[in-house]
Structure 1
């Protein structure tokens, strides 16, 4: 059995790139992705084109062990879900970002998508959506939208990003562990399915981790290979990573990982320089890579300068200044909740903000002095210097999140752009790398530490974590204390297995946590029929085909970022920066700039009263719009769930109604 398992793992590692290509092609062939777009069934979009009502089950619909059924294969599911459950809380993904991407694919992938309000919206700024632009070189997971359409484009995105992240994480773990291939295989799964990455997979953190890994792995292997063809390929990968990293345009994550990249670059170049590995050809390749990649970045930022300036000038989020110190010490044990987050919705916070990672940073900080004292060759191994740098960076992020910095230091270090919660999540990711390095180090270490004193410290730290966990009423209201105790025991058990060198058992126990906490976050879904083949969607597409220049509005519902998916030009939607051309018509006297000058989910409610603006939430703008303004705006079609003819008269002619109660009106002000 052991021989068979070893042979299987060796084969998996040896043929990993071929297996990756095969898995990627399968993902494309069967149109597989991990989006939660099935949640649209919960938002008044159930009637399919054949008249059938499609329903979707979420975690909140079930109790107890019924939830386990969601992770059994459902090959005949009407909503496309094969495995898992869509996440209502991930509205940034299924409602905003996926809608942007599908809209781009259906409208030509233009830099400025003119379907969003009157002025259009820059789609580089809008969640790095696919565009026909040189910057797409740095967004390989977007390429499918350019050539394969919306549905297969989404399959390309998820398949490419997940598989490539697994490969990159393996290669980086091989660097950290000095080519311990079995631990690196575990590390690739550990990092890729880290809960905070999976909950943020399609957003900024997933992108930042992907590009950071691409940059570091490409840089490291560039100096390891001798073939000039391979060096050119790795330079291209490095340039792609630089473009992608910069154009994420989310400093809250970019700043912490920029320190990681800076430190890794110094470490990598120092080693290459000492070994005299940097030749004239290499300096030429470095110069060429920086020129073309930074040239594309400069072009992208220049062409997007108005959108970026408008975003920085918003009231929310604007140019906020953070100094850290907003995380409580008790939140150190919140990592133990990761295993419950996919299965149970907390009331005191949301799953995305609570998600972090399973890591051993606190224990490592306690034990490291013992190992440094007992090892005389620690500094002679370059990977140890990299591991120590990761520990210092993770510890600084921990300090910043818990204690904070004076404002002047925060500004000088650029951490004024980093909120405590984002520093905490960056720390969670980097601490996984720290844990992988430390496992490799102590398993290779021949000089054993004083187990008595080290074990005593670990015992005290473990007991303290247990009291912090069980002493928090919020946690006990969320999860039964017995389950919390089991989660704590399992985590502590894993580290003691690591500490005492039980490698196989520790790896197996850790895999259980990885599967339960990370692999259960996003569903496995087939296709986009759940939104594109609905009766309402087809009707909208037909109207857009007949009248492509018609101006739409959706009101009193949850469809304000829906119409643009099918090419309808609409004055609502999700805006990364305000459309001032539109706002000058809606707010002529500029009375409500504080309300609308923000990143916003822009929605409307028609009324006979004076137009007013309000903010139900910091990122929400609700406009109570006087109906007479419709004529000034040139509105042609209105999507709503109300009877506008009864409310406002014959100017509103109903032309469609589905069984969900959604209605489309043609607005004809002269009637």
Structure 2
């Protein structure tokens, strides 16, 4: 370490040494008494501060306090960002189409949230958070799937704590608010750590990440994985740099908790790339801030902390695995997604410059080749400007920031995985084979945001003076790159974008990119850049509505009718004959139904319907299941795989197989024929929907 670097480290014993060096007055000397007994506060310039971790000054405390206050208020008010109001129109019951909506519009494309996740959560809630719940899958689906469950593992799923502590609707609000507000706080603290306590830039980075289209359009599903990952990185750094037992006693348990929470989010397509990002950030930070007096202070206590932490971690994971083994085995043996193995190289759904033009697309209007607004959404990236700029800085100064180098390597490796692909052996060794490129593009975007925010912070301390020729060539290169990005989007969209539409976004990003050039020195450069990025993110705030409560579900006439019948006969099993949407809503009532989304294959049920396992490959998967009437007089059961995540079952409603499965209630999405109901009696009619019960 250079002498200059050592001089920048705070000597914690310095105050005592200075006090000891002061000459003591004699007993007879007269000491003038000032009107104030304490010396005036000394303001230390940012550039003169020594190395420190997170500075919890008044501004940070106020920020955290305001966020906690918002979390409490919004939870108590039952505010959420769910699209459950889609039920007002999908299964209308004469109610107001905006029932439960405060602002914005529910998005039909977010059916993974309003039609799958939310009903599954309610199913768990009404059944007292069971380990086994056939309505959502075989084995122990909530234990392996990320759902609330009565098991110690719920300690590591903080976004679900509200369901155990509060009412249903407050618990639902907690689920949303913890993900969003909790992640903003955690990310702000991490950016404070990585930017040497640049407060406003840290808040900007957190807001940019959380409200980027790549997260917002996916109903913030990434955040329950990203949040513990962020806490894990903070805890790890605090253990490495701890200088007191108190710090280790806090950081050690936090390390264990966050590691378990991150590991058991159990969505490898996000976890594996994010894990690499966390490693890159940790290595880069340690290399940049290699302060021996901090790192080697209490080294044995730190080693003991990590040893104990990994011991506790192993015990927790072993206990979890003991309970979840059969479910994990079943899931890993599924045709989809268990046996999926990728080699990359399939590219982005749109292209990695498409976010520059995100203003021009919506959930109902986008290039048809880009699938849908969720799949094509990711993050604004400035890597093509930043990485060459870092090389330019190195050429002129022979200095480089190890943290920026580490993140740049991460970005380039993931870009190679997405665009080029890896050999099969490398894909498996790296574990990226479990992350399809359409999912990898999200962690890739997160890495780009970290790269940009930390680079902007770096520019405050490092700039270069170059010749006029280099300046001109660099600006021309930026313009050429943005023109290239515009052409790529014009070509990829097959005429969806028009030249006049992309002119202003291209101009904006040319200006923002020029601001990132290391030799550009203008007043308020960073402020202008941050405002420009936030301005461009504004349309993304409409991705999710602002809603209150769960009335679009709980006040729906079908929901209330099914709940009434279920409470009269709670052990009876149900099946929806027809519409998959009716099935989704029925799941939310808590009934045990055959149809619906199965997180893991329910072999116990399917072996009754398919005793010889002839159609095993059709249902051995995560799947949306739909049941229909199929009567051939032979009690045959027809099972067909429609998509990689769906299958259809055709069965006679009066089949002895269904009686064996204790199916007593049938919901038809139409008026059934007499042959279908020969063993049933009608118990309710709701418009075109009819509910029947088995005759006994």
When normalised by structure 1's length, the TM-score is 0.87
User: What's the counterpart of residue 583 of structure 2?
Assistant: 560
Uncovered stretches (5+) of structure 2, i.e. residues with no partner: 1-56
User: What's the counterpart of residue 18 of structure 1?
Assistant: 65
User: What's the counterpart of residue 509 of structure 1?
Assistant: 532
Contact 2:349 2:438 in 1 (8 A): no
Q: In the TM superposition, what whole-angstrom CA distance separates every residue of 1:531-558 from its partner, at most 9, and x where no partner exists?
A: 0122221221222211110111111112
User: What CA distance in whole angstroms lies between the structure 2 residues aligned with 1:231 and 1:442?
Assistant: 33
Q: Are positions 1:640 and 2:668 aligned together?
A: yes
User: What's the counterpart of residue 628 of structure 1?
Assistant: 654
| Equivalent residue for 2:542, pick from 520, 534, 544 | 520
Matches within 5 A, 1:419-568: 419-449=436-466, 450-474=470-494, 476-477=495-496, 479-499=497-517, 500=520, 501=522, 502-517=525-540, 519-557=541-579, 558-568=581-591
Q: In the TM superposition, what whole-angstrom CA distance separates every residue of 1:249-281 from its partner, at most 9, and x where no partner exists?
A: 222222112222333444556646663234433
What is the Cα deviation at residue 79 of structure 1? 1.8
What is the Cα deviation at residue 390 of structure 1? 0.7
Contact 1:470 1:481 in 2 (8 A): yes
User: What's the counterpart of residue 639 of structure 2?
Assistant: 613
What is the Cα deviation at residue 337 of structure 1? 3.5
User: What's the counterpart of residue 31 of structure 1?
Assistant: 78
Specify the SS of the correspondent of 1:654: strand
What is the Cα deviation at residue 489 of structure 1? 2.0
Matches within 5 A, 1:276-425: 276-327=296-347, 331-342=351-362, 344-346=364-366, 347-348=368-369, 349-378=371-400, 384-425=401-442
Specify the SS of the correspondent of 1:636: strand
Q: In the TM superposition, what whole-angstrom CA distance separates every residue of 1:228-249 from its partner, at most 9, and x where no partner exists?
A: 4454333333222111111122
Q: Are positions 1:176 and 2:194 aligned together?
A: yes
Specify the SS of the correspondent of 1:561: helix
When normalised by structure 2's length, the TM-score is 0.84
Q: Are positions 1:134 and 2:176 aligned together?
A: no
User: What's the counterpart of residue 194 of structure 1?
Assistant: 212
Q: In the TM superposition, what whole-angstrom CA distance separates every residue of 1:463-517 from its partner, at most 9, and x where no partner exists?
A: 222222223343x32x444222222222222222343342222221111012223
Q: Are positions 1:54 and 2:96 aligned together?
A: yes
User: What CA distance in whole angstroms lies between the structure 1 residues aligned with 2:456 and 2:286?
Assistant: 25
Contact 2:243 2:298 in 1 (8 A): no
Uncovered stretches (5+) of structure 1, i.e. residues with no partner: 1-9, 56-77, 379-383
Matches within 5 A, 1:12-161: 13-44=60-91, 46-47=92-93, 52-55=94-97, 78-116=98-136, 121-126=140-145, 128-161=146-179
Specify the SS of the correspondent of 2:190: helix
User: What CA distance in whole angstroms lies between the structure 2 residues aligned with 1:228 and 1:657?
Assistant: 68
Q: In the TM superposition, what whole-angstrom CA distance separates every residue of 1:589-645 from its partner, at most 9, and x where no partner exists?
A: 322112111110011001213421122221111111123323333211112222236
Contact 2:682 2:693 in 1 (8 A): yes
User: What's the counterpart of residue 63 of structure 1?
Assistant: none
Contact 1:124 1:247 in 2 (8 A): no
User: What CA distance in whole angstroms lies between the structure 1 residues aligned with 2:220 and 2:463?
Assistant: 42
- Alpha carbons of structure 1 residues 175 and 374: separation in structure 2 relative to 1, 3 Å: farther
Specify the SS of the correspondent of 1:665: strand
- Alpha carbons of structure 1 residues 106 and 398: separation in structure 2 relative to 1, 3 Å: same
User: What's the counterpart of residue 381 of structure 1?
Assistant: none
- Alpha carbons of structure 1 residues 230 and 133: separation in structure 2 relative to 1, 3 Å: farther
| Equivalent residue for 2:680, pick from 624, 640, 652 | 652
Specify the SS of the correspondent of 1:644: coil
User: What CA distance in whole angstroms lies between the structure 2 residues aligned with 1:604 and 1:272?
Assistant: 64
- Which deviates the most, 630-639 or 223-232? 223-232
User: What's the counterpart of residue 5 of structure 2?
Assistant: none
Specify the SS of the correspondent of 1:604: strand
Contact 2:630 2:638 in 1 (8 A): no
User: What CA distance in whole angstroms lies between the structure 2 residues aligned with 1:448 and 1:236?
Assistant: 47
User: What CA distance in whole angstroms lies between the structure 2 residues aligned with 1:218 and 1:342?
Assistant: 39
- Alpha carbons of structure 1 residues 298 and 264: separation in structure 2 relative to 1, 3 Å: farther
- Alpha carbons of structure 1 residues 290 and 186: separation in structure 2 relative to 1, 3 Å: same
Whichever of the two has the greater Rg, that structure is 2
Contact 2:75 2:170 in 1 (8 A): yes
Contact 2:343 2:422 in 1 (8 A): yes
What is the Cα deviation at residue 28 of structure 1? 1.2
User: What CA distance in whole angstroms lies between the structure 2 residues aligned with 1:14 and 1:121?
Assistant: 41
User: What CA distance in whole angstroms lies between the structure 2 residues aligned with 1:622 and 1:330?
Assistant: 31
User: What CA distance in whole angstroms lies between the structure 2 residues aligned with 1:550 and 1:328?
Assistant: 46
- Alpha carbons of structure 1 residues 482 and 455: separation in structure 2 relative to 1, 3 Å: same
What is the Cα deviation at residue 357 of structure 1? 0.4
User: What CA distance in whole angstroms lies between the structure 1 residues aligned with 2:653 and 2:350?
Assistant: 52
Matches within 5 A, 1:207-226: 207-223=224-240, 226=243
Contact 1:131 1:146 in 2 (8 A): no
User: What CA distance in whole angstroms lies between the structure 2 residues aligned with 1:241 and 1:342?
Assistant: 36
What is the Cα deviation at residue 13 of structure 1? 4.3
Please provide the CA RMSD for this pair: 2.4
Contact 1:645 1:651 in 2 (8 A): no
Contact 2:340 2:434 in 1 (8 A): yes
Aligned residues: 621
Q: Are positions 1:664 and 2:684 aligned together?
A: no
Specify the SS of the correspondent of 2:650: strand
- Which deviates the most, 318-327 or 261-270? 261-270
- Which deviates the most, 205-214 or 164-173? 205-214
What is the Cα deviation at residue 573 of structure 1? 1.8
User: What CA distance in whole angstroms lies between the structure 1 residues aligned with 2:671 and 2:427?
Assistant: 54
- Alpha carbons of structure 1 residues 536 and 194: separation in structure 2 relative to 1, 3 Å: same
Specify the SS of the correspondent of 2:578: coil
- Alpha carbons of structure 1 residues 228 and 102: separation in structure 2 relative to 1, 3 Å: farther
Contact 1:644 1:652 in 2 (8 A): no
What is the Cα deviation at residue 295 of structure 1? 2.2
